[in-house]
Amino acid sequence: MEEMKKWMVLGIGVLLLMGSCVEDFIGGDGVQGCMQELSPDTSLPELLDLYQGEPLALEAHQIKVQVVSSDREGNHFGVLVVQDGDRGPGLQILLDMQDSHLQYPPGTWILLTTEGLYLDKTNSGYKLGTAMPVFGTLSLGRIPSRKTGEYLKPACGAPAEVVPKEVTIEELKDSMINTLLRISAVQIITDGNPATLGSEEEDTRQVLENCEGATVELHIGKFTDFNMDPIPDGKGSVTGILKKDGKSYVIHPSTRTEIDLLAPRCSSGPGDPEDVPVEEEPEGTIAMPVLISEIADPDNAPEARFIELYNAGSEEVSLQGWKLLRYTNANTEAGAATVLDDLSISPGGVLVIAAEAEGFASVYGKPAGMVGGKNSAAGSNGDDNIVLIDPEGEIRDIFGRIGEDGSGTDHEFEDGRALRKEGVMQPNPVFDPLEWSIFNDTGAEGTIKEVKIAPGDFSPGSH
Amino acid sequence: MRILILFLLMAMWVQAQEVLLVGIVKDSLDGKPVRNATLQCSEHSRIFHSNNKGSFSASLQAPSCQLEIAAEGYRTQLMVAGEGNSFLQVALIPETLSMEDWENESFRTGGQAYLGSGRSLFLRRVAFDLGQAFYRPRGLDGREQLVLLNGFPMNHPGFGRAQWSDWGGLNDVSRSQEVAYGLKHAIYPLYGLLGNTAISTDPLTHRPGLRITSSYSNRSYRGRLMLTYTNSAEDQVVSYTVSGSTRHGRQGYIEGTPYEAWSSFMGVNLKINQWTDMKFFAFYTHQDRGRSAPVTEEVTSLLGRVYNPYWGIDGGALRNSRMRTSYGPILQGILGSETPTFTWKIGAAWQRSIKADSRLTNIHAPSMDPVYYRYLPSYHSEHPVFPNRYNALISRESLLANPQVDWTAMRRANDSPILAGKAAYLLLEDVVESTRWWGRGEFSLYMGRWIFHAGIAFLENKLLEYARIEDLLGSTFHEDLNPFDGYSYDMEGPIEKMEGDKINYHLLVGSSGWNTSASVEYKTGSWQVAASYTGDFRKDHRKGFFRNEANQQNSLGEEEPFQASTGLYRLSVEFSPNLRHHLSFTALAGTRHPRLYSRWRDHKQHDRRSEYTDPEAVEGVQFRYSYKASQFQGNCTVYSSRVQELPIPRSFYAETGIGNDFYRLIQGRTTMRYQGLEVDLGYEWVSGFKVNAVVAYGMPHFDNDPTIELYVDTLPEKAVYSGVAALQDEPLGNGPQRAISLGIEYRDPRYWFIGTTFNYLSGAHLHPAILRRTSIFTEHPGSIASPSTMNESVSRQLPAITLTNLVFGKSYLKGSTYVGIFVSINNLFDLQFASGGFEQERKSEQGAWLEDIAGGRPLFGPKYWMGNGRTIFLNLSLSLR
């Protein structure tokens, strides 16, 4: 009996020991995180000074630089452009990493470790990459994806703001190459160009001119997301990285929004005055330039929803025969029509259509120009599409895209506001989100995540 | 009716011919009755059981026979019965240590379907030696084997295979398995070409007392603890067994494969009267395990055989991105009665099982697979335009330094202000919640030389399937759109989805139907003829809960059910001129339903059915010869079968002659031919010392050129390509098909044993890339040669494998306490081998493919499953009576 007990105790002891014994074979921690503090030992200009005219194998340097380009919309590919604060020139880092904007969004400060990399300079500026012998000549290759994190260590926290340097075309110079610039008061020469910004077959160079006639090229790559967008027919600013091709300067924007050409074109530009539409009034459209100027869905007061129409012309417009249609959600048939007969808008004036008379009056302290009803265009909850129809039954102006539910798109204004940008003086029968400032509760697709509270955040009655 | 009367008359006539045998089975040491011992005249005759008091009654068809008496924990004994010896007293010698016992405890090496097949040397070798290299009997898929748990068929309606993990870890209670291998006759419904395994968890099949088992292994789990208690005694009305087990480990043989599982079981047997009992069983299992990936030769050469790209360190802890979680209960109840001439059973069962497979998704963001082709050295060294050996070296270095999933980089990306909270990376789970109901009734009538069996079963399956966001990895929402075409997956729900929300697809597929089976057997002294039939009526339907933008009219709501009936027939003839020789011939033919997932072209996205609505056809024959003498025994089986199957559609990204896209491949009826030979020989040289050999030679081939259709997401109504794949006479993609296994074992009377096997396996083939065998491969203007010449130059055969396994055991018996220790070492010489793999479909355009293989180090070369190196399994068990 004693012996049996001994066996049992021994047996159970060994059993429990084995049952709980688990080995751990885990290897090293391979995580590449961010850096709390960047401690450079060399500045970018100092590094670039080392270049002697041949591809240069770099020693170990630590350089602090800021990212100024983005490959998000495809106009920069396989490259990350960095610069030292607002000093030029900048540097192109050749990367194999796809979607590098996710790891290195514009504005990110990074500590660049150069050991094992090569520096070279071509007509288009300084480049950094790995060695790549091509037929016995040393050239530069892209840094392999999974190695990027060892050469480019990002600082922790949100990226800093990137402020492009404001320049004119006349001021462009080689020391600005590979830096972020903003050139204002320019327009795209449209003469003889295709109607789109770029093409899917080949890279496109548009020509930007200012009202004084100076020009610079604008690069739109064939893999760019916005290359099939129509050429913006206005004047404004273009932001991008300056490069040089031969003797010409070329500006490479990272995103579509960096091509901000909404203001009227130069009044007597040297390019092609007969093509400048603001000078003449094409049939019908400009005669009665009534457009949707504001749509409101206050987060705090659904009863204070409204829609505002604006007369951008110099003459009073009668709205006899005009209608506002609401296409609810993804519906392809209009759900409600607001008839605007007997109303008119004075030059520079607005018409405010409220969803509910009492709700509007109590929130904004004044009556609306007319009441459309909860189901009308004025009562939209932010994911509907709204169309302004003229007496001919033609679409005069549109907000959103018929058949597309606004939720999560670039025309959602749920709990927010859609405001026509200043400078937009014509209605547009094709929805262009760039003409609008759109606030909502999601911030999707280039809209701004910011709920709006009535009455303070809205301006019914003035535009 | 007339036939029935005729049968009854015949039965009464033959009743007179049989010999009634009664007796008692006792333990030779303590003289206590041994219950539930099995008594069988020959391998092919009816099995009788001893009752709680150890006594039994059996009727013999032959005037005499060599009776085999077996019971768990005892040495099997042979006795001559009949010929005046109609009362038998059997004293069984307790088997303190046996190979079988070891095998029951042992770690399953892939041949788990044959674990309980203690009697067949061939199946034991498959389960414990050949299965390690993914040898599959006859080259057939697991769907060809019907697995019954207490009589309820457990095969998965979608894939056709049984999900053994549903009762995983409950080895103590699922040990009693009755295997009918191949086309062998059995009373169970006809299903496939591999026969059936019937698992019984009846408390009366378990030894009373407490059993504690603890194991250590480096194969998949590290530690296992199992406890089972059985309470049953003579004349006891209520017998029960409770069992529980846990298995756990941070990783198995392959890196980064955590394992966490627990299981519990309760079984009750209520004796109503001498013949009738009622049984209830409840199972609950939970398993979480990290998966490992097949990799290319380049990856294995750089990172070794244990490398697994699925894991990484997240927040300081190991995290595998591809976890497989499965859990759920099974409840069963059976009422039945068994008399020497008539048995009947009725039962009902319910199962709910949730299975979730996690995976990482990147949305407009680069892949986070550390061995994605762009991150490998070959991407740089084999670049068609600018090969760069420097970059190849740099990637090699970075891969070696940092070969795992970088969770931090994903969190960083998701944190990017550009995304404004939208996820670029997320971890999702593909979930299948299945609910199954069974109801069945069956009876067997033993009338002299005749045995009739009939059964009817109702089965309903509901599979609720969806993807779910498990972890947004620091982002605030996921935009649930197809990243390739921008279509919404769920038009009527919000586009922005949060953690826990269902995304991508959400639907239910189900089947319900009736299964009827009948068999009749007729026996004479040396002949046995049996015929069986199984009919199956099934209704399949799909119900979608998401309106998918690409399939607006075909995704949401319920479709018209599809219904069909099938029937399988089997005829078996056996002949035993004497106790030494046994010959059998079996033929099976008929139709069966395709697996549920084959019904639709893409059931997750829409309800468009596959146009191949006819049932699948199967046919097979086998001839078997067995020889049995006192020291030597051997079996030889020759088989030939043909399966006409409807493969489950699949999706992949490919570069083809008609463009680069995500394609949905619908492969039409595919005929496969399986022919071969199985031999096993065993010889007991001197007492306790045995040598044995197993030889298998199989030649599974494609037997037609299946039709192929390709669809793309944006155009689901119309195939973008239709053609045929030149597969006729090509070997199937399979594990090794030819095997030789030689074994030696010695069992010492002083309670220890040692055994070793030497195994040589060959004939494994990669799964072929289908599109490369169609005209789409050469449709590009740049192509120069015909597909046949291209493929002849690339062999799919894998190298032969040599495996040596060793097992040692020792046990102690003190009174009623038993302690046993077993150790097994697999792949003793630590040889590296690939057990299988597949050709990647990516380069399905000849020019691109030629370019890829030109340098001898293709970026999209075959991927392999690497077999384990030397592994150990250690088991300690303690039984207290």
Reported as a single tens digit per residue, the pLDDT across B438-457 is 999 999 999 888 999 999 99
Q: Which residues from B are below 8 Å from A102, CB to CB?
A: 365-366, 412-413, 416, 418-419, 424
ipTM over 0.90: no
B375: helix, coil or strand?
A: helix
**Model confidence, pTM:** 0.78
Q: b or e along B288-313 (b: 16 or more beta carbons within 10 Å of the residue's beta carbon)?
A: bbbbbbbbbebbbebbebbbbbbbbb
For residue range A189-241, what is the model confidence (pLDDT) as tens digits?
Answer: 887 556 889 988 889 999 999 999 899 999 999 999 999 999 998 899 999 99
Scan for tokens 């109702």, then name that residue.
B458
Name which of A22, A33, A443 is nearest B222 (Cβ-Cβ).
A22
Whether B878 sits inside 8 A of A131 (CB atoms) is: no
B400 and A CB contact within 8 Å: no
Asked whether the bond before A89 is cis by omega within 30 degrees of 0, the reply is yes
Whether A444 sits inside 8 A of B496 (CB atoms) is: yes
A116 and B CB contact within 8 Å: yes
Name which of B390, B421, B812 is nearest A132 (Cβ-Cβ).
B390
Reading across the β-sheet that carries B152-153, which strands appear in turn? B152-153, B146-149, B195-200, B176-181
Measured in angstroms, the CA of A167 and the nearest CA of chain B are apart by 26
Q: Which residues from B are below 8 Å from A223, CB to CB?
A: none
Q: What is the pLDDT of residue A6?
A: 65
Interface of A with B in 158-177 (CB under 8 A): 158-159
Interface of B with A in 265-324 (CB under 8 A): 312-313, 316, 318
Whether A147 sits inside 8 A of B394 (CB atoms) is: yes
* DSSP assigned state of B734: B
Whether A443 sits inside 8 A of B421 (CB atoms) is: yes
A132 and B CB contact within 8 Å: yes
Chain B contact probe: residue of A23, A70, A98, A102 with most B CBs at under 10 A:
A102
B103: helix, coil or strand?
A: helix
Distance CA B74, CA B72 (A): 6
A30 and B CB contact within 8 Å: yes
Name which of B251, B364, B880 is nearest A99 (Cβ-Cβ).
B364
B721: helix, coil or strand?
A: strand
Contacts of A431 (CB under 8 A, 6+ apart): A398, A399, A400, A401, A411
Computed over its alpha carbons, how large is the radius of gyration of chain B? 29
Burial of B788 (0-12, 13-18, 19+ CB in 10 A): exposed
B418: nearest CA partner in chain A:
A105
B527 and A CB contact within 8 Å: no
Whether A146 sits inside 8 A of B812 (CB atoms) is: no
pLDDT band for position B428 (50/70/90)? very high
Contacts of B104 (CB under 8 A, 6+ apart): B115, B116, B171, B175
B416: nearest CA partner in chain A:
A102
Q: Are B787 and B777 in contact (CB under 8 A)?
A: yes
Measured in angstroms, the CA of A391 and the nearest CA of chain B are apart by 35
B479 and A CB contact within 8 Å: yes
B413 and A CB contact within 8 Å: yes
A449 and B CB contact within 8 Å: yes
pLDDT in tens, chain A (463 residues): 566 566 655 665 555 555 444 443 333 333 347 888 889 999 999 999 999 988 999 999 999 999 999 999 999 999 999 999 877 799 999 999 999 999 999 999 999 999 999 999 988 899 999 999 887 788 899 999 999 999 999 998 888 888 899 999 999 999 999 999 999 999 998 875 568 899 888 899 999 999 998 999 999 999 999 999 999 988 999 999 999 988 899 999 999 999 999 888 887 555 444 444 443 334 434 567 899 999 999 998 888 999 999 998 888 888 888 889 888 888 888 877 888 888 889 888 899 999 988 889 888 888 888 888 888 889 898 889 999 988 888 888 999 998 888 888 899 999 999 999 888 888 988 898 889 999 998 888 888 888 899 888 898 888 8
- Minimal CA–CA distance to B186: which of B43, B36, B22, B398? B43
B401 and A CB contact within 8 Å: yes
Whether A26 sits inside 8 A of B876 (CB atoms) is: no
B486: nearest CA partner in chain A:
A409
A15 and B CB contact within 8 Å: yes
Scan for tokens 């025969």, then name that residue.
A321
How confident is the model over B662-674, as a mean pLDDT? 94
pLDDT band for position B77 (50/70/90)? confident
A403 and B CB contact within 8 Å: no
A5 and B CB contact within 8 Å: no
Interface of A with B in 271-300 (CB under 8 A): none
One-letter amino acid at A421 equals K
A144 and B CB contact within 8 Å: yes
Q: Which residues from B are below 8 Å from A7, CB to CB?
A: 812, 814, 817, 819
Strand partners, A140: A131
Distance CA A298, CA A281 (A): 37
Portion of chain A with pLDDT greater than 90, in percent: 46
Measured in angstroms, the CA of B389 and the nearest CA of chain A are apart by 8
B8: helix, coil or strand?
A: helix
Whether A159 sits inside 8 A of B375 (CB atoms) is: no
Give the residue with greater pLDDT, B42 vs B708.
Answer: B708
Whether B416 sits inside 8 A of A102 (CB atoms) is: yes
pLDDT band for position B55 (50/70/90)? confident
Contacts of B359 (CB under 8 A, 6+ apart): B321, B322, B427, B428, B429, B430
Scan for tokens 């959400």, then name that residue.
B506
Q: Which residues from B are below 8 Å from A144, CB to CB?
A: 375, 380, 391, 394-395, 398
Distance CA B231, CA B11 (A): 40
Chain A contact probe: residue of B216, B220, B402 with most A CBs at under 10 A:
B402
Distance CA A2, CA A6 (A): 6
Q: Work out whether the CA dihedral B109, B111, B113, B117 comes out positive or negative.
A: negative
Strand partners, B417: none
A18 and B CB contact within 8 Å: yes
Contacts of B31 (CB under 8 A, 6+ apart): none
Q: What is the pLDDT of residue A131?
A: 93
B416 and A CB contact within 8 Å: yes
Taking residue A345's Cβ as centre, other Cβ atoms within 10 Å add up to 22
B811 and A CB contact within 8 Å: no
Scan for tokens 């990936």, then name that residue.
B293
Beta-strand ranges (E) seen in B448-501 are: 450-471, 478-479, 496-497
The token pair that represents A436 in the structure block? 């609008």
Q: Which residues from B are below 8 Å from A15, CB to CB?
A: 212-214, 225, 876, 878
- Minimal CA–CA distance to B762: which of B804, B800, B803? B800
Distance CA B825, CA B807 (A): 6
The token pair that represents A134 in the structure block? 């091509």
Whether B225 sits inside 8 A of A15 (CB atoms) is: yes
Size of chain A, expressed as the number of residues it contains = 463
Whether B402 sits inside 8 A of A142 (CB atoms) is: no
The three-state DSSP-derived secondary structure of chain A is CHHHHHHHHHHHHHHHHHHHCCCCCCCCCCCCCCECCCCCCECHHHHHHCCCCCCEECCCCEEEEEECCCCCCCCCCCEEEEEECCEEEEEEEEECCCCHHHCCCCCCEEEEECCCCEEEEECCEEEEEEEEEECCEEEEECECHHHHHHHEEEECCCCCCCCCEEECHHHCCHHHCCCEEEEEEEEECCCCCCCECCCCCCCEEEEEEECCCCEEEEEECCCCCCCCCECCCCEEEEEEEEEEECCEEEEECCCHHHEEEEECCCCCCCCCHHHCHHHCCCCCCCCCCEEEEEEECCCCCHHHCEEEEEECCCCCEECCCCEEEEECCCCCCCCEEEECCCCEECCCCEEEEECCHHHHHHHHCCCCCEECCCCCHHHCCCCCEEEEECCCCCEEEEECCCCCCCCCCCCCCCCCEEEECCCCCCCCCCCCHHHEEEEECCCHHHCEECCCCCCCCCCCCCC
Q: Which residues from A are below 8 Å from B411, CB to CB?
A: none
B218 and A CB contact within 8 Å: yes
B552 and A CB contact within 8 Å: no
Q: What is the pLDDT of residue B30?
A: 66
Q: Are A411 and A401 in contact (CB under 8 A)?
A: yes
Say which range, A125-139, A211-225, B40-54, B610-624, has the weakest mean pLDDT.
B40-54
Q: How far is CA B430 from CA B360, B433, B596, B665, in A?
A: 11, 10, 17, 20
Asked whether the bond before A455 is cis by omega within 30 degrees of 0, the reply is yes
Contacts of A392 (CB under 8 A, 6+ apart): none
Strand partners, B91: B26
B51: helix, coil or strand?
A: coil
* DSSP assigned state of B795: -
Whether B212 sits inside 8 A of A25 (CB atoms) is: no
A214 and B CB contact within 8 Å: no
